[in-house]
Structure 1
Amino acid sequence: MIRAGRTAVGRRELAGVLGLKWSTFDRTKPHTAADFPLPVSSEGALVLLWDLEQVEAHRDGRPQPVIPAVDREEDLLDRREAALLLDVKPRSVDSYKTDPGLADHVVVVGGVEHWPRAAVLAYAVGRGAMSAPSGRPKGSGDMVPRDLLPGRIAELLDANPAVTAAHAVDVLGISTPAAQRHLQQERAARIVALMRTEPGLDAEGAAERLGYPPAVRRAALKAAQELYEAS
């Protein structure tokens, strides 16, 4: 994460801080040296970021300043860190982030989306306590408000990729057409996200990897293809 009051840089910016042309940086990869500051990106992140103060200290031969370890509301969290705070899988955040509660607070650093800890916590409170993967979402006896539906649908798919529209109707109190539509949209979004994460993987392979049953795959694949071409 990017701690409150700190500045993070990606590889392109890193080259400039070190006074290197991009071609030289890309060839020599100084950031892989054993004594180079560690990235501040979450574990498993595809795009790495570094703390600017630590990089400058390393460049100048000075002791590296310690990054604060105390959580603050102004800390910036990437999708994995936001998912951990919300107790969901990272791909669920891909659905949640279109909600104004998160979309209005997004901060892009080095091409990576981040959200202030305070915004993530407020979003968690607004959408209610998270349910356990195998349980019924809290307060699901009545119809779920429209703005919370994408998040609740994402929870159901996290728990069971083969979840049926009938189950969503029973759990969320929504109509069958709404359940079918939202499940199809969420499955399509996850197919596209996986295709972008793994270049060379086609939509059919992504759907298989995600565990979508043949009965729902055709509609999800069509929606995914349209989404992929439109993006």
Structure 2
Amino acid sequence: MIHPERQHLVRTRELLARDMGMSMGTFRNKKPYTAEGFPAPISSPQSRVLLWDGEQTAAYLADAPVPDLPPAGGDQDLLDRHEAAAEIGVKTRSWDSYKTDPLLAHHMVVVCGIEHWPRGTVQTFQHTRPGKSGATGRPKGKGNAVRRDQLHARVAALLDAEPTITISQVCDALGVAPATAQRALANLRRERIAQVAGQSSLSYAEAAERLGFPPAVRRAALKSLQSVHE
């Protein structure tokens, strides 16, 4: 849960690595956020993209007392998809089908690539949502929860927040099909590698490493780029 007045303080893994002066590779290996006393994530326990409060992490890194977060429960508290689903007592996959409702879509807030909704909006939707007898998950024949013209930007925001994000994490964050997530991630990684290489003297492989992409996806992206230029 994110306090509405603390959106600007949210830190991702990538931002924490920068705060600590670590490369993403070192950060992934050491996992400093698992150390005793490190502030707990403000993302829900089920979320695969972890988020932290920057005031708390800055205090921890400065060896100062970690401040408490404001109390939760306000109408403007921002809930991720897991928290929103729990708020109205449905499965997360059900929420993925509900979130295209105009009421929810209009009030959605994207923080570091992750969708959130104000608690009050979620509670209002509770009174008008479809009955509990409906099937959960993305109904057969129903399109992805993110519009095609928005997909590139939404996945790009997730990739910026977490260079090692996986297909399943994109599906989890946006409610899209695995094939859709795979295509979007592959295209974006190729674009980013080519862009960084074109703006510097780096090879594609060096650009991919600088971007913090994991070895497996680096190999796939490089193979694709090399085939284009053969």
Aligned partner of 1:197 among 168, 173, 177:
168
Take 2:37 and 2:19, find their aligned partners in 1: how far apart are those partners? 17
Matches within 5 A, 1:160-171: none
Aligned to 2:77: 75
1:95 aligns with 2:97: yes
Question: Does the 8 A contact of 1:92 with 1:155 survive in 2?
Answer: no
Contact 1:8 1:52 in 2 (8 A): yes
Deviation at 1:184, TM superposition (A): 2.2
**Residue equivalent to 2:134:** 156
Contact kept in structure 2, 1:4 and 1:72, CA below 8 Å = no
| AA matched with 1:12 | E
TM-score of the pair, normalised by structure 1: 0.57
TM-score (norm 2): 0.58
Alignment-derived partner of residue 26 in structure 1? 28
1:18 & 1:183 partners in 2: Cα distance?
44
SS in 1 for 2:140: helix
Q: Does the 8 Å contact 1:83/1:90 carry over to 2?
A: yes
Q: CA RMSD in A?
A: 3.2
Offset at 1:12? 0.8
Shift of 1:114: 0.8
State the Cα distance separating 1:226 from its structure 2 match.
Answer: 8.7
**Unaligned 5+ runs, structure 1:** 129-150, 162-181, 191-195, 200-223
Structure 1 contact 9–109 (Cα < 8 Å) conserved = no
Contact conserved, 2:104 with 2:125, CA < 8 A, in 1?
yes
The residue type equivalent to 1:51 in the other structure is: D
Q: What residue in structure 2 maps to residue 184 of structure 1?
A: 140
What is the aligned partner in structure 1 of residue 2 from structure 2? 2
Query: Alpha-carbon deviation of 1:14?
Result: 1.4
SS at match of 1:25: helix
Cα distance between partner residues in 2 of 1:155 and 1:226: 28
Alignment of 1:113-128 (within 5 A): 113-125=115-127, 127=128
1:178 is aligned to none
Cα distance change of structure 1 residues 198 and 81 upon mapping to structure 2, 3 Å threshold: closer
Deviation at 1:124, TM superposition (A): 2.0
Secondary structure of the corresponding residue to residue 116 of structure 2: strand
1:38 aligns with 2:40: yes
Q: CA deviation at 1:4?
A: 3.1
SS in structure 2 opposite 1:115? Answer: strand
Comparing both chains, which one has the higher relative contact order based on Cα–Cα distances under 8 Å and sequence gaps of 6 or more?
2
Larger Cα Rg: Structure 1 or Structure 2? 1
1:117 CA displacement: 1.1
Conserved? CA contact 2:49–2:169, under 8 Å: no
Aligned sequence identity (%): 40
Q: Which amino acid aligns with 2:168?
A: T
Residue aligning to 2:189 = none
Contact 1:88 1:155 in 2 (8 A): no
Q: What is the distance in 1 between the residues matched to 2:106 and 2:56?
A: 30
Residue equivalent to 1:12: 14
